[in-house]
Chain A
Amino acid sequence: MQRYDIAIIGSGPAGLSAAINAKIRNKNIIIFGYEDFSSKLIKAPKINNYLGFHGISGLELKEKFKEHIEAMNIEITYERVNNIYAMGEYFSIMVNETIYEAKSVVVATGIEYTKPLKGEEEFLGKGVGYCATCDAPLYRNKIVTVIGYNKEAEEEANYVSELASKLYYIPMYKSNYELRDGIEIVQDKPMDIIGKDRVEKLILSSRQLETDGLFILKDSISPAQLVPGLLMEEGHIKVDRTMKTNIEGCFAAGDCIGRPYQYIKASGEGLIAALSAVSYVDSKRI
């Protein structure tokens, strides 16, 4: 397997700026993101505080970014990164069925993740989980609730229902749910998770469910879930001036590290993160 020098997670201004700077420094990079780069960017009607581009719209700025990375032969990998594991000398980047490897990582995922439910963090590993397929066999003949934020969650719910004695599915989106017979769909808003030593009940706005296990399957996950072991501070990734996180070889830039949430701040941080990653990779090569 080829091991990249730097993997960049996110294609907003921070990620793209990290990519061009790492490329200028001749590093072998991979950047994960979206065709639109950033949903926030294309929605901005007018931007007056990006130096050099007075009065530009988000869409126009996106086109400028596109021209820039194309001119530098940077290709974005349109895949969703599920997890990044710090293996020591390198990082394993899990993308559905594929695993990529990189010597260093720049996290530039923006700030869009939903807030945890009340009790979610307290009961993590005590009934609350994020990987239903991982933990399903521990819930054989028990009651399980799945809070699903997307279609993929249905597949996991179907799998768990084969083992659990009862499965509640709480969809957080509208669709035709492709769920196995016997799964009870609960159209209600989750409020609070309660229990003593482990999860006992999920409180919804108009009913309560007794449950042994609770899986929360979200669309966007917090950086600490994306990179297990990553240190957060008040909802943002903790970094120093060089954009270094608490994990060696892992850097972060943009909205995910803190306010203000601005394009040119994100770009600047992406530049710093890329150069720090370059020095890190170079220092490892003896």
Chain B
Amino acid sequence: MMKEIMDSNFKEEVQNQSGVVVVDFWASWCGPCKMLSPVIEELSNEMTIAKFTKVNVDENPQSSQNFNIASIPTLLVFKDGKVVDTMVGFRPKAELEQLVKKYI
């Protein structure tokens, strides 16, 4: 299950976490985001070793601005609170899995 993160708890839920946290920046009107969501959702159920979260950029402009999100979907991979990787646009599951595995 992917946890919805807000501007208000981004620090606590993502930056103050140890280990790998994946953040999916998305919005309801973005087609590629809608396609990516079920793919990440599936991956999050298989890779319980990482924490998977999502941020709605419409409702949480501060977080998107803090991390310079210029396109959606964008995935940020955090390790021990720091951004270690970025992926822009839709990607197949196998590629996402490889991306996250690199940091585990």
The judgment on whether A and B are partners is: yes
Binding site for B on A (CB under 8 A): 83, 85-88, 92, 94, 124-127, 129, 131, 133-135, 137-138, 197-199, 213, 228-229, 247-248
With a 10 A CB-CB cut-off, give which of B35, B88, B94 has the most chain A CB atoms: B35
The answer to whether A138 and B90 touch (CB under 8 A), given A83-B32, A87-B35, A87-B39, is no
State whether A92 touches B70 (Cβ < 8 A).
no
With a 10 A CB-CB cut-off, give which of B33, B36, B38, B90 has the most chain A CB atoms: B90
The answer to whether A138 and B35 touch (CB under 8 A), given A124-B88, A228-B89, is no
State whether B88 touches A125 (Cβ < 8 A).
yes
State whether B91 touches A229 (Cβ < 8 A).
yes
Contacts of B66 in A (CB 8 A): none
Binding site for A on B (CB under 8 A): 27, 29-33, 35-36, 38-39, 42, 57-58, 64, 68-72, 74, 86, 88-95
State whether A134 touches B71 (Cβ < 8 A).
yes
State whether B91 touches A228 (Cβ < 8 A).
yes
The answer to whether A127 and B70 touch (CB under 8 A), given A134-B31, A138-B57, is yes
Contacts of B58 in A (CB 8 A): 137
Cα distance A138–B58 when bound, in Å? 9
Question: Which chain B residue has the least Cβ–Cβ distance from A123?
Answer: B70
Give me 23 A-to-B residue pairs in the complex whose CB atoms sit less than 8 angstroms apart, sorted by A's number: A85-B35, A85-B36, A85-B90, A88-B39, A88-B92, A124-B71, A124-B89, A125-B71, A125-B88, A126-B68, A129-B71, A131-B31, A131-B71, A134-B30, A134-B31, A134-B32, A135-B70, A135-B71, A137-B58, A138-B69, A138-B70, A198-B70, A228-B32
